[in-house]
């Protein structure tokens, strides 16, 4: 599956949720965790979530 630039979302946290963005036409809500990486790809729709390089790490 190829991605266009529209499928890349810049985020400020390493844990994100994706539902395909299509409402009833989307997919089940899935939580994605980047771990030590700076991006993660949704296995359902191929949308890429990239961590904003200026994001402040969350305290755990």
Q: Per-residue pLDDT tens for 30-47?
A: 999 999 999 999 999 999
Q: Give all domains of the chain, ordered by start, each with its CATH number.
A: 5-51 (2.60.260.40)
Mean pLDDT across the stretch 12-27? 89
Q: pLDDT band at residue 22, thresholds of 50, 70 and 90?
A: confident
Three-point CA angle 24, 30, 34, nearest 5°: 145
Asked if 39 and 51 touch (Cβ cutoff 8 Å), the reply is yes
Judge whether residue 59 has pLDDT over 90. Answer: no
């Amino acid at each position: 599956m190829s991605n266009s630039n529209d499928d890349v979302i810049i985020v400020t946290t390493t844990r994100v949720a994706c539902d395909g963005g299509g409402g009833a036409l989307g997919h089940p809500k899935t939580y994605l965790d980047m771990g030590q990486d700076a991006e993660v790809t949704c296995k359902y729709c191929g949308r890429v979530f990239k961590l904003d390089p200026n994001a402040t790490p969350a305290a755990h």
